[in-house]
Amino acid sequence: MKEPETISDEIIIVGSRYGGLADVLTPLYEKGEPIEKENIKQVLGTDVVYLQPVGNNHDPYAVGVFLSTEIRLGYVWMCQSLSLREWMMTNNKKYHTVHISRINTQYGFMIAKTDAPIRLADYARNELGIDNEWAKHIPGTMRSITEQSLSLGFALLCDELLMTKEWSDALERRFVNLNRHLPADLSSQHMQECLELYYKMKQSSISEVRESCDNMLQAYISRGSKSSITWWVNEWLPSFFREAEENDLLGLFEAANYTLERVEELLEQAPSNLFYLYKFNREQFAFRLYYSALPQEVYNRLLTLLAVREAMIEKKRRAGKYSLIFSKAVLARAVEDVSEYFWGFSSNAVLYCVYRDAYKYKGSSADFERLLKDLDYKKEMKYLCSSGTIANAFSHNPYMKYHIDKWERHGVKNRVIRLRDEFIKSIEKAMQELKNCDEN
């Protein structure tokens, strides 16, 4: 089956901020002042550049952009580089000459023109060595909320462009929404759509749409920028993991008898050695993920399994922590440490509330009373808890039925807040001391 083709006379050049002329171009980009076409030769020394397949640490299909002095100016945008490499190979070209026609100083990319339009086949990166069957039979695959919003955003924007004849607030909102969600998706899902959308916008009869072309292009190019990758790793990915936890993705996999070992065994077979990079350096993982341009389903399976792995590790960590928290030695030391803040027997109810809310204690108040009485204290306890103490405190202090984080808004006395906070500190301190003793 013949690959679909895109006929283009434009090559988009990125990465010049970090290329051989960075010292010349970066100050111009920081100013953001337009560079007229006739001044391009003056800025670069020439408007002629040479495209040559090079590959790099992140992208094996990279095409470098070089000056005649062999200085690398930047790279061909990754959405065009593979198709361009294949075109050059088919036409037996070791390099290809183009002319810089425009420099966008606001966003830091360049547009080069070919002498004649090139027929670039839509070669899908995700079909090169990617096993589309990988992890196909896992119990479920989670799509993020942002991915769903992005897919809808593309559809709505394309329809709006077809139907509308003039710029409107609704059309502007479509562009804003699309740009907002684009950085979240590092898959190949919308690569071709973005190129097609860019060409449609260039040919639009609406001047505002044509003027928005570069903004749209930058939104997609910038997905692979250092700042965007850092945001994805530090902000988006953790939010995806939280979303998976809220949807009880872990419960689904545990019901299907998946263990941490089984999940990691699958991840070790993930495309492009992505799991090993994930464990080593998450920013390098994200860059590799971006340039791997995985098919959406494979991409979603990868993120799903990573989310399940993180949830399993956290569950294991919590189990170890809780076993330490609920040890009698830790509780005895913590209670002794805060006994100086007790004002009466009802103080024991505050301890129970802390255990209930901060440490997910599942026992009843009566269970907690018996636990407190059985502890091996090293000093005399003035207000040792007796049966019914906590229930009585609850009946006289309605705030205790609320989560301890909400006590301030219910006007709880300072002595209660202080005991709550000091008890948490004492538990953490006692746990660390006990852990250090075990390790030594």
> What ranges make up the beta strands (E) of 280-321?
none
**Residue the block writes with tokens 């953001």:** 32
Mean pLDDT of 87-97: 92
Strands 96-104 and 5-14, sheet pairing? unpaired
pLDDT confidence bin for 148, thresholds 50/70/90: confident
DSSP 86-132: HHHHHTT-S-EEEEEEEEETTTTEEEEEEEEEEEEE---GGGSS--T
> What are the backbone angles phi and psi of residue 129, rounded to the nearest 5°?
75, 10
Type of residue numbered 398: P
Report, in angstroms and rounded to the nearest whole number, the Rg of the chain calculated over CA atoms. Answer: 30
Sequence-ordered list of residues with C-beta below 8 angstroms from that of 2, at least 6 positions apart, any chain: none
Taking the C-alpha atoms of residue 179 and residue 428, their distance in angstroms, rounded to an integer, is: 44
pLDDT-derived band at 143 (thresholds 50, 70, 90) equals: confident
- Contact (Cβ atoms closer than 8 angstroms) between residue 335 and residue 422: no
- Examine the pLDDT at 250 and tell me if it is beyond 80: yes
Q: Which of 14, 203, 196 is nearest to 120 (CA)?
A: 196
122: closest CA among 194, 175, 225, 185?
A: 194
Cα→Cα distances 90→120, 266, 267, 376, Å: 11, 37, 36, 81
Give me the count of residues in the chain: 440
Q: Which residues pair with 96 in a beta bridge?
A: 51
**pLDDT of residue 244 exceeding 50:** yes
What digits encode the pLDDT tens for the residues 390-439? 999 999 999 999 999 999 998 899 999 999 999 999 998 888 887 776 55
3-state percent breakdown (helix, strand, coil) of the chain, nearest 5 = 60, 10, 30
Q: What is the pLDDT at residue 178?
A: 83
Q: What is the DSSP string of 115-184?
A: EEEEEEE---GGGSS--TTTTTTSS--PPPHHHHHHHHHHHHHHHHHHH-SS--HHHHHHHHHHHHHGGG
**Residue 346: predicted pLDDT:** 93
- SS3 label, residue 413: coil
- Produce one character per residue of 294-304: b if its CB has 16 or more CB atoms within 10 Å, e if not: bbbbbbbbbbb
321 against 269, higher pLDDT:
269
pLDDT, tens digit (0-9, with 9 covering 90-100), for 348-388: 999 999 999 988 888 889 989 988 988 889 888 888 888 89
Question: pLDDT by residue (tens digit) across 105-135?
Answer: 999 999 999 988 887 776 555 445 678 899 9
Tokens of 311: 């949830």
Per residue in 202-220, pLDDT (tens digit) is: 888 898 888 888 888 888 8
* Contact between residue 288 and residue 243 where contact means Cβ atoms under 8 Å apart: no
Please indicate whether residue 180 or residue 25 has the higher confidence score (pLDDT). 25
Is the Cβ–Cβ distance between 51 and 62 less than 8 Å?
no
- Which residue matches tokens 């026992």? 363
Instruction: Give the position of tokens 């495209």.
Output: 51
Is residue 338 scored above 60 in pLDDT? yes
Answer yes or no: is pLDDT of 2 > 70: no
Nearest to 107 by CA among 263, 271, 219, 269: 219
- Distance CA(50)–CA(70), nearest Å, equals 9
Task: Note the pLDDT of residue 1.
Answer: 37
The share of the chain scoring above pLDDT 90, in percent, equals 50
Q: Above 60 in pLDDT, residue 321?
A: no
Report residue 312 as tokens: 């399993």
> What pLDDT is recorded for position 63?
94
| pLDDT tens sequence across 41-71 | 999 999 999 999 997 777 888 999 999 898 9
Is the pLDDT at 196 greater than 90, yes or no? no
More confident site: 127 or 301: 301
pLDDT for 256: 95
Distance CA 84, CA 351 (A): 67
- Judged by average pLDDT, the poorest of 114-123, 239-248, 289-298 is 114-123
Higher pLDDT, 25 or 199: 25
Alpha carbon 387 to its chain's center: 50
Q: Place 145 in a pLDDT band, splitting at 50, 70 and 90.
A: confident
- Average pLDDT for residues 256-284, to the nearest whole number? 94
